[in-house]
C-alpha cells in the first residue's frame, strides 16, 4: 500500500507519530515541503532520503536549492550571509538552524565557527533535492477510473503539457506554486499538498488535497495543525495532531 504524506515543514516528531500509525509494510510517498518553519527540517530530510522514501519536489525544496547555494558560497568564500531573501522570510532560517549552519545573535542569523560537517550534509541534501521529480504516476486506477498522480501543487490543469519541452517552465511553476484545484474534466486523480485545508483532508472525485496545515498555529480553531496520510489504493486517511 502507498501512503502519501502531506507537507511536513520540519516537524519531525509529528512525522514519526504519523508513521507509527501506518502499516509497517507501507510505501511512504511525500508531496514535498519537507523543510522550513518547523525546527527539525534536517531530521525530516534525513528520514526521507536515508529511508529511500518516494518524494516530489515542493516549492520549499526549490527555495532551499536556490538560496541554499548562496549560503554555501558565503561559507566557502568567507563572505557575509545573504540575509534578505524570500527563503529566509518563509522558514529558511529555521532550516539552517536545524542543520547547525547559523546561530541567532540578537535575534538575527549569524555564522557559526564549526560549520564544515554541517555544510557537507547541507550540500549533500541540496544535491538530493535537485533530483526530485515534479510528479509521480502510480500504476493504480482510482475509483474514478483515472490514473493516480502525486505532485506538490495541483497539476491537473497542465497535465497535458508535461512532455512539451517548450512548456516546461509553465509546468514547473504550476507544480511548485499553483493553488487552483483541478477541473472536473482532468485526466488524472491528483494527490497534492501546498495549500493548507481546514478540517481534514479535502477529497473530491478527481483530487485529494492532503495538506492539513501541520505548521499552522491553530489557536483560531481553523481545524489545522495536523499531518495527514492518504492511502492510494484504499482512500483511507490517517491524521495526527502536531506534536
Supply 89's cell numbers: 522570510
- Mean pLDDT (the chain, rounded): 95
15-57, pLDDT tens digit by residue? 999 999 999 999 999 999 999 999 999 999 999 999 999 999 9
pLDDT attached to residue 217: 80
pLDDT-based confidence at residue 238 (cuts at 50, 70, 90): very high
pLDDT attached to residue 83: 81
Q: What is the pTM of this model?
A: 0.95
Check whether 221 has a pLDDT greater than 60.
no
Check whether 219 has a pLDDT greater than 70.
no
Spatial separation of the C-alpha atoms in residues 34 and 196, rounded to whole Å:
14
pLDDT attached to residue 185: 87
**CA 176 to each of CA 137, 171, 193, 225, 239: distance values in angstroms, whole numbers, following the listed order:** 17, 9, 10, 22, 24
77-131, pLDDT tens digit by residue? 999 998 888 999 899 999 999 999 999 998 889 999 999 999 999 999 999 999 9
Amino acid at each position: 500500500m502507498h501512503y502519501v504524506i502531506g507537507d511536513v515543514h520540519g516537524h519531525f516528531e509529528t512525522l514519526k507519530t504519523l508513521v507509527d500509525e501506518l502499516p509497517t509494510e507501507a510505501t511512504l510517498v511525500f508531496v514535498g515541503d519537507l523543510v522550513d518553519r518547523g525546527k527539525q527540517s534536517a531530521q525530516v530530510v534525513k528520514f526521507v532520503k536515508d529511508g529511500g522514501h518516494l518524494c516530489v519536489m515542493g516549492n520549499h525544496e526549490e527555495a532551499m536549492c536556490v538560496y541554499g547555494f548562496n549560503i554555501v558560497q558565503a561559507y566557502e568564500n568567507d563572505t557575509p550571509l545573504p540575509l534578505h531573501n524570500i527563503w529566509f522570510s518563509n522558514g529558511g532560517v529555521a532550516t539552517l538552524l536545524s542543520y547547525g549552519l547559523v546561530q541567532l545573535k540578537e535575534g538575527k542569523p549569524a555564522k557559526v565557527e564549526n560549520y564544515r560537517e554541517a555544510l557537507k550534509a547541507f550540500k549533500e541534501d541540496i544535491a538530493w533535492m535537485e533530483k526530485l521529480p515534479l510528479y509521480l504516476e502510480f500504476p493504480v486506477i482510482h475509483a474514478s477510473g483515472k490514473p493516480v498522480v502525486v505532485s506538490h501543487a495541483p497539476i491537473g490543469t497542465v497535465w497535458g503539457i508535461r512532455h512539451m519541452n517548450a512548456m516546461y517552465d509553465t509546468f514547473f511553476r504550476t507544480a511548485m506554486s499553483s493553488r487552483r484545484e483541478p477541473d472536473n474534466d482532468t485526466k488524472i486523480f491528483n494527490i497534492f499538498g501546498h495549500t493548507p485545508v481546514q478540517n481534514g483532508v479535502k477529497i473530491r472525485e478527481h483530487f485529494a488535497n492532503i495538506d492539513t496545515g501541520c505548521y499552522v498555529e491553530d489557536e483560531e480553531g481553523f481545524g489545522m495543525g495536523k499531518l495527514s496520510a492518504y492511502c492510494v489504493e484504499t482512500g483511507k486517511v490517517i491524521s495526527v495532531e502536531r506534536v
